[in-house]
C-alpha cells in the first residue's frame, strides 16, 4: 500500500480518517497562513481559491520531503458577508464572532488536495451553508465556559459533533465538509491512487 500522510495537526480531520479505517501519519505543515490570506485579499481573490491554495501549500510542503507518499492537505474558511474568516485568536474574539453570526446564515468552504512528489495530483473544494439561531448572552456564556479554548481550533468556534450543534436552526451541505474534510470525494481519490482497495 502507498504511504499516506495528513499534512495537518487537526484532531478532527485525524478522527475522520481513522474512523474511515485509514492508516496514516500526521505531519503538520507549518505555513504562514496569515501572509497568504493577506496576499489573496489584496489581489481580490475569493475564498474558494484561498482555501484551495492553502490546502495545496500544506500538501506540497510535506510532499517535497516525503516524495514516496500521498499527502493530504486541507483547509477550511468561514465566509460571512463576503469576508473569509479564519480561526479566532482568543475567547473574547470567539464570543464577538458568535454574536455576529447569530441569527444569520454563513458558508463554510472546505478544500482538500492530494500531492505526490511535490505536485498536486487531485483537488476538491466543497461548500456548506449553516444558519445560526439567535443566541442569548446566557447561552453564549454557558457555551464558551463549557467548551473553553477547544473552540479556537475550529473556524466559527463550533464543532457540530458536540454542543456546537445547539447553535444552529438549519444546515445545508455535506456533514464531512462541515467537519473539515470532504470525506467521500477524498476516499474515492485515494482508491484511484491505490492508497485504498477499490
Q: Which residues are catalytic?
A: 75
Q: Are strands 168-172 and 70-80 parallel, antiparallel or unpaired?
A: unpaired
Please report how many Cα atoms fall inside a 13 Å half-sphere around the Cα of residue 19, on the Cβ side.
10
Angstrom distance (rounded) from CA 111 to CA 148:
27
C-alpha dist (Å) from residue 20 to 69, 89, 102, 183, 184? 19, 31, 33, 9, 10
Counting every residue, how long is the chain?
A: 198
Amino acid at each position: 500500500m502507498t504511504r499516506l500522510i495528513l499534512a495537518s495537526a487537526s484532531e478532527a480531520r485525524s478522527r475522520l480518517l481513522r474512523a474511515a479505517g485509514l492508516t496514516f501519519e500526521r505531519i503538520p505543515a507549518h505555513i504562514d497562513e496569515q501572509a497568504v490570506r493577506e496576499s489573496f485579499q489584496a489581489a481580490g481573490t475569493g475564498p474558494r481559491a484561498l482555501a484551495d491554495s492553502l490546502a495545496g501549500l500544506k500538501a506540497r510542503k510535506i510532499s517535497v520531503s516525503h516524495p514516496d507518499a500521498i499527502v493530504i492537505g486541507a483547509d477550511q474558511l468561514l465566509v460571512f458577508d463576503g469576508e473569509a474568516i479564519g480561526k479566532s485568536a482568543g475567547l473574547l474574539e470567539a464570543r464577538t464572532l458568535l454574536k455576529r453570526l447569530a441569527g444569520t446564515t454563513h458558508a463554510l468552504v472546505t478544500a482538500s488536495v492530494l500531492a505526490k512528489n511535490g505536485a498536486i495530483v487531485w483537488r476538491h473544494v466543497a461548500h456548506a451553508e449553516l444558519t445560526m439561531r439567535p443566541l442569548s448572552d446566557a447561552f453564549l456564556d454557558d457555551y464558551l465556559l463549557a467548551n473553553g479554548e477547544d473552540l479556537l481550533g475550529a473556524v466559527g468556534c463550533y464543532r457540530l459533533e458536540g454542543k456546537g450543534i445547539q447553535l444552529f436552526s438549519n444546515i445545508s451541505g455535506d456533514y464531512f465538509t462541515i467537519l473539515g474534510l470532504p470525506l467521500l470525494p477524498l476516499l474515492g481519490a485515494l482508491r484511484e491512487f491505490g492508497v485504498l482497495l477499490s
